[in-house]
Amino acid sequence: MQEQRSEAVEIVLPRWEMLPDIGLYMDQVITLMERTFSPTLPKGEITKSMVNNYVKVGLIPRPTGKKYDREHLAILMMIGVLKQALNMESIAQLLVILCEESVRAGYARFCELVQAQEERMLQGHIDLSACEESPQEQALRAGIAAAVCTICARRLLDALQKK
């Protein structure tokens, strides 16, 4: 039973150092995103038109010479998880909070928070905030918890359908 719960929750996000350090063209970005999210999210969760829209609305910076770098990829990873439970306006607000210092620091923090939320869920806890946290921190934790819970619920329901 514990093993099934673990599989239902685990979201594997590559750490910053594992993201390609060379510019990728759009097709390569989509392939990377599908490979990264294939065990976590349904196929087609990140498409070319979505990425173009994210650029158009300023959610991610414009690519340099049609190539996307680590910062673009990290932001797309965060969007891919958060969009499971939040709208684009909410995601934009959380990205501002996360990436206040830098995208690299924000992505590292995001990965840590996702992992911590998964661990709490495995223990049967959903803790959205601590009393001493700022409203921004509470919103960040609640947004990540919502996304992780949504992903977990989808996985569990998919497993039930397969039985």
Q: How far apart are CA 85 and CA 154, in angstroms?
A: 11
- Residue 12 near residue 39 (C-beta atoms within 8 A): yes
- The average confidence (pLDDT) of the chain is 86
Residue 147 pLDDT: 92
* Helix 48-56 / helix 26-37 crossing angle, nearest 10 deg: 110
Residue written as token pair 């998880």: 81
List per-block mean pLDDT (blocks of 10 residues) for the chain, which spans 163 residues. 52 91 95 80 79 94 95 95 94 96 97 90 68 84 91 82 80
Tens digit of each residue's pLDDT (9 = 90 or more) over 16-31:
999 999 999 999 999 9
Tens digit of each residue's pLDDT (9 = 90 or more) over 126-147:
666 566 788 899 899 999 999 9
Residue 7 pLDDT: 54
* Helix 103-122 / helix 88-98 crossing angle, nearest 10 deg: 110
Tokens (6 digits) for 130: 């601590």
DSSP-based three-state secondary structure for 64: strand
